[in-house]
């Protein structure tokens, strides 16, 4: 069976695809898998690292503004999309996949659209509560649309091809071992680890806050901290921290990374996670049973990240701080308060664990097989 998995732009669209690929390979030996995305998105780094071939097409997202410059940009973007779809058709004719799996993001549109025009079975995965543009535009012709939240069904007009599966979680996350991970990272038994990240691209506003947060924690060095800056902030955040008088060389407990490639080990070892509220990330938090402080991105359609986060908060699994109310001081005090309360951390972790969906990958795999048999 040949699969072509497409999606990109952010880790939230790439990691679910990688989870599907690895699970499918674990279930049968005759699976050949290739990916499609862009040469500039995070997929260009993550996919080759995992050993998969990546086809690239030149495509970009639309701007939502109606300003003259945005209109001109969107016209050029649509022209690029036509060229990208033509290239996608050429790739599909050469590779001849049995199924194309679309994991969202503008990078997935050319391949999914081309596959539907060529009558190749397509399966769409929508991990967020509010469906993206690609899911909305391609759902009607898809063989299956797999969703992670029940309320997404209505937003996609209750089509008969919709199935609730949950978001796929990478096998290395499911089988991650806290003790082994902490030993690998040389963490002392009483050493607390905080892990923070704002998505694969980073977030300008929140990374600016992290400079102030790191300044505060450097005054006490009471916990170990790994922060993933994202691509853009990795270039300027170290200088911003230095401008605040913090020499990171003198604080080995504070570590900046552009991206956390060994996320399974790092999250498994963590005592507390600070992050956005993408559905894939929340799914991993629940599987690992990790307490978290979540600052939802307000820059997403229908404010779906806050809706995702509030669902966990209502179950007692996390603490939500909205971006407008978040300051370095507020975030730092929230972290130190939780780290000082082991019982609270343990309870949040247990609550998160009750929300985990462990068989989502199997459900997704079976629907892909179903589409292939067609």
pLDDT digits (tens, 9 = 90+) for 46-90: 999 999 999 999 876 655 555 666 555 555 555 566 688 999 999
**Average pLDDT score over residue span 288-304:** 90
Task: Evaluate whether the domain defined by 2-169+359-373 bears CATH number 3.40.50.2000.
Answer: yes
Out of 162-176, 258-272, 276-290, 296-310, least confident range: 296-310
**Residue 79: per-residue pLDDT:** 59
**Residue 200: per-residue pLDDT:** 65
**Residue 279: per-residue pLDDT:** 85
Strand runs (DSSP E) across the chain, as ranges? 2-6, 32-37, 54-56, 99-102, 122-126, 144-147, 162-164, 193-197, 224-228, 254-257, 272-275, 292-294, 318-320
pLDDT digits (tens, 9 = 90+) for 166-182: 999 888 999 999 999 99
Instruction: Report the helix count and the strand count for the chain, using DSSP H and E.
Output: 16, 13
Task: Evaluate whether the domain defined by 173-354 bears CATH number 3.40.50.2000.
Answer: yes
**Residue 3: per-residue pLDDT:** 98
Domain boundaries, the chain: 2-169+359-373, 173-354
Residues 6+ apart with CB under 8 A from 205: 323
- Rounded-to-integer distance, Cα 131 and Cα 158, Å: 13
pLDDT digits (tens, 9 = 90+) for 122-143: 999 999 888 988 999 999 999 9
The binding site consists of: 10-12, 128, 170, 200, 260, 305
Q: Is 2 left (phi over 0), alpha (psi -120 to 50) or beta?
A: beta
Quickly state the pLDDT bin for 218 (edges 50, 70, 90).
very high
**Residue 324: DSSP 8-state:** G
The binding site for UDP-N-acetyl-alpha-D-glucosamine consists of: 10-12, 128, 170, 200, 260, 305
Domains 2-169+359-373 and 173-354 share a fold: yes
**Residue 58: per-residue pLDDT:** 84
Out of 38-42, 81-85, 179-183, 273-277, least confident range: 81-85
- The fraction of the chain above a pLDDT of 70, given in percent, is 93
- Rounded-to-integer distance, Cα 348 and Cα 29, Å: 39
* Long-range Cβ contact pairs of 202-205 (< 8 A, separation 24 or more): 202/228, 202/229, 202/230, 202/231, 202/232, 202/233, 202/234, 203/230, 203/233, 203/276, 203/297, 204/232, 204/233, 205/323
- The answer to whether residue 365 scores a pLDDT higher than 60 is yes
Task: Round the average pLDDT of the chain to a whole number and report it.
Answer: 92
List helix spans (H) across 118-248: 133-138, 152-155, 171-174, 178-184, 204-218, 233-243
3-state DSSP assignment of residue 199 = coil
**Residue 137: per-residue pLDDT:** 94
Helix, strand, coil tally for the chain in percent (to 5) = 50, 15, 35
């Amino acid at each position: 069976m040949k699969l072509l998995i497409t999606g990109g732009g952010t880790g939230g669209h790439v990691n679910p695809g990688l989870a599907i690929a690895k699970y499918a390979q674990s279930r049968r030996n005759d699976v050949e898998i290739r990916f499609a995305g862009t040469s500039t998105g995070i997929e260009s780094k993550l996919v080759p690292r995992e050993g998969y071939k990546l086809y690239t097409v030149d495509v970009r997202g639309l701007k939502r503004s109606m300003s003259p410059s945005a209109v001109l940009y969107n016209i050029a973007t649509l022209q690029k999309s036509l060229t990208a779809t033509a290239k996608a058709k050429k790739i599909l004719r050469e590779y001849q996949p049995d199924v194309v799996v679309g994991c969202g993001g503008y990078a997935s549109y050319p391949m999914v659209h081309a596959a539907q025009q060529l009558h190749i079975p397509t399966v769409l995965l929508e991990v967020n509560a509010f469906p993206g543009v690609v899911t909305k535009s391609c759902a009607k012709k898809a063989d299956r649309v797999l969703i992670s939240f029940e309320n997404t069904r209505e937003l996609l007009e209750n089509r008969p091809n919709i199935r609730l599966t949950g978001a796929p979680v990478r096998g290395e996350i499911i089988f991650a071992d806290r003790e082994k991970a902490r030993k690998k990272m040389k963490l002392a038994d009483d050493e607390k680890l905080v892990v923070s990240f704002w998505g694969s691209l980073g977030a300008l506003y929140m990374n600016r806050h992290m400079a102030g947060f790191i300044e505060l924690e450097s005054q006490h060095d009471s916990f170990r901290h790994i922060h993933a800056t994202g691509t853009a902030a990795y270039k300027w955040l170290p200088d911003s921290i230095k401008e605040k008088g913090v020499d990171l060389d003198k604080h080995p407990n504070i570590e900046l990374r552009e991206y956390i490639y060994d996320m399974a080990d790092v999250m498994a070892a963590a005592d507390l996670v600070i992050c956005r509220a993408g559905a894939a990330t929340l799914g991993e938090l629940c599987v690992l049973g990790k307490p978290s402080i979540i600052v939802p991105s307000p820059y997403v359609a229908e404010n779906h990240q806050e809706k995702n986060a509030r669902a966990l908060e209502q179950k007692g699994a996390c603490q939500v701080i909205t971006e407008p109310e978040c300051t370095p001081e507020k975030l730092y005090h929230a972290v130190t308060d939780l780290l000082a309360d082991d019982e609270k951390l343990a309870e949040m972790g247990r609550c998160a664990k009750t929300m985990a969906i462990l068989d989502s990958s199997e459900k997704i795999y079976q629907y892909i097989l179903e589409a292939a048999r067609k």
